[in-house]
Structure 1
Amino acid sequence: ACLIVSLLTDGCVIPCIFQLEASLAMLDQHDCVIIAKTGSGKTLCLLIPILLHTETISITISPLKHLQTTQVR
């Protein structure tokens, strides 16, 4: 949680409205489908809840093999 607060308050990351809405929905345990252009920041939507709740398991389905390999690292 401290990492997220630091990133958001120090100006390193300023989430867009759709990123905040999606992250809050995921934190409320809702399933989400996010459709946005390449490079719009969809990954941040799933990283915020994952970083806040490290004890949970996240399943992310990506149709692109390159994304699958880079997001696992």
Structure 2
Amino acid sequence: MAITSIKTGTSLKLKYSLGLNEKGVEKFKTTSIKNLSLDATDDDLFGMTTLMKDMQSNSLVDVKKVVDTDLSE
């Protein structure tokens, strides 16, 4: 039986460096942006992170795209 895959949501996880703590270990902060357009391309999403990065005082170190999908028979 064939499985149907339906994309139900797209979000981004942005990871920022907060610098080093008192022990010299790098600290990070992660922010999620949810409910993004299902039709947005990777270029669109990355372009948005570029604009947001310029408004932040902390350095953006990682961008992850998260796609939620429902599977059914």
The structure having more radius of gyration, on CA atoms, is 2
Q: TM-score, normalised by structure 1?
A: 0.28
Considering Cα pairs closer than 8 Å and 6+ residues apart, tell me whether 1 or 2 has the greater RCO. 2
Of Structure 1 and Structure 2, the greater strand share is in: 2
